[in-house]
Amino acid sequence: MDLTHSIIDKQFIFIIGSPKSGTSWLQMMVGAHPMVCTTVELTLFNNYTAPWIRAWDREASNIEKGRWYQGLPFLWTKDEFYDFLRAFLSRVYEKVVATNPQATHVLDKHPGYSMFVEDIYKLLPNAQFIHIIRDGRDVAMSMVAACREIGYGTSTIQGSAESWQNNVKAALNARQYGDHYLEVRYEDLLASGVKTLKTVFDFCGLPASNKEVSSIVEAHQFEKMKAKRQSADMRVKTNPAFYRKGKTDSWREDMRPIQKYVFDEVAGQCLCELGYAEDGWWAESLVQKFTLPLLAIITSRRNKQERVVRWIKVLLGTTICGYIKIMFSRNRRM
């Protein structure tokens, strides 16, 4: 039997979306189906195949334009190169299938895959994409908390908003693959778990009764997973800090007014297009519509000054740095 074809011909499922949008939660629930095999985040398409493909495209272009002749495109055809990549993927996924030999579906997940849906589809034309989307404001607060507690993610609302928007927009590119693409809302999965997960299983072609789906949803309640430190692979225990609140609209309690404005400046249009907010949502009063933009400008300038001071401190030491702080302070009072 041709091992490469036996693995590659299985049905592949890829969960995409922004970090902190429930990608891991959905992976664990889909992975609980007896006909699915999965494991930890393999980062195959963002950390391995993507650099190879970009290198191939660059060197093939150079050869085609007669700039210089170097690299694999001088020896291989494009088909041979992609056959090599598929053989590599087969070797990797062979190990995943070995954890559940009866599996008909291979599930892989990483938020970074959102940026490479075209690579994935080119390599695995039968790939199915499940895009889980969550309110970007909840995502941003979760990212900032994760960075503070476990050193993962972005430390600012601006950076978190950029990350959320970039990943969501990239994942939306998978819509071009028609019935190979499904959108799932985190909020629906939380409020109507059985109905939403049943839709996911039906999309994947995985038979499951309502009772079986209900059992999976019940086993993957937030507090239960947190207590078990559950991950997508039973051999791995997740850092307890990975689990935060597991609810919707927590941004209403946690987000300061200035953070709302900053998020809206970066990703407000995307938030509104997805139906999570209406234009002007960030201002609770007419006064805030004028004061928050001004406060954001002042805060941005202060942060820039502090970054300059830290940079000079590294180069010149604390004495000169102290003098510069005094000068900045005088300038602000003027």
**pLDDT (mean) for 94-118:** 97
CA distance 280 to 264: 8
CA distance 200 to 181: 11
In the chain, where the domains are located: 3-249, 254-333
**Distances in whole angstroms, Cα of residue 86 to Cα of each of 54, 90, 124, 162:** 16, 6, 8, 32
User: In the structure encoding, which two tokens stand for residue 246, read together?
Assistant: 């597991």
**Distances in whole angstroms, Cα of residue 218 to Cα of each of 77, 214, 222, 257:** 50, 6, 9, 36
pLDDT tens-digit readout, 301-327: 655 545 444 544 545 554 445 544 554
pLDDT tens-digit readout, 16-27: 999 999 999 999
CB 168 within 8 A of CB 127: no
Comparing 188 with 331, the larger pLDDT belongs to: 188
pLDDT tens-digit readout, 216-232: 999 998 878 777 777 77
CB 136 within 8 A of CB 27: no
Question: How much is the mean pLDDT over the chain?
Answer: 88
Which range has the worst mean pLDDT, 34-43, 179-188, 201-210, 218-227? 218-227
Q: Is pLDDT of 333 > 80?
A: no
Say which CATH topology domain 3-249 has. Rossmann fold (3.40.50)
Comparing 321 with 188, the larger pLDDT belongs to: 188
Q: Look up the pTM and report it.
A: 0.85
CB 252 within 8 A of CB 263: no
pLDDT at res. 315: 52
Distance of CA 312 to the CA centre of its chain: 35
**Distances in whole angstroms, Cα of residue 156 to Cα of each of 127, 147, 266, 294:** 34, 9, 12, 19
pLDDT tens-digit readout, 82-92: 999 999 999 99
pLDDT tens-digit readout, 161-171: 999 999 999 99
pLDDT at res. 152: 78
pLDDT tens-digit readout, 234-244: 777 776 666 66
DSSP string, 220-234: T-HHHHHHHT--SST
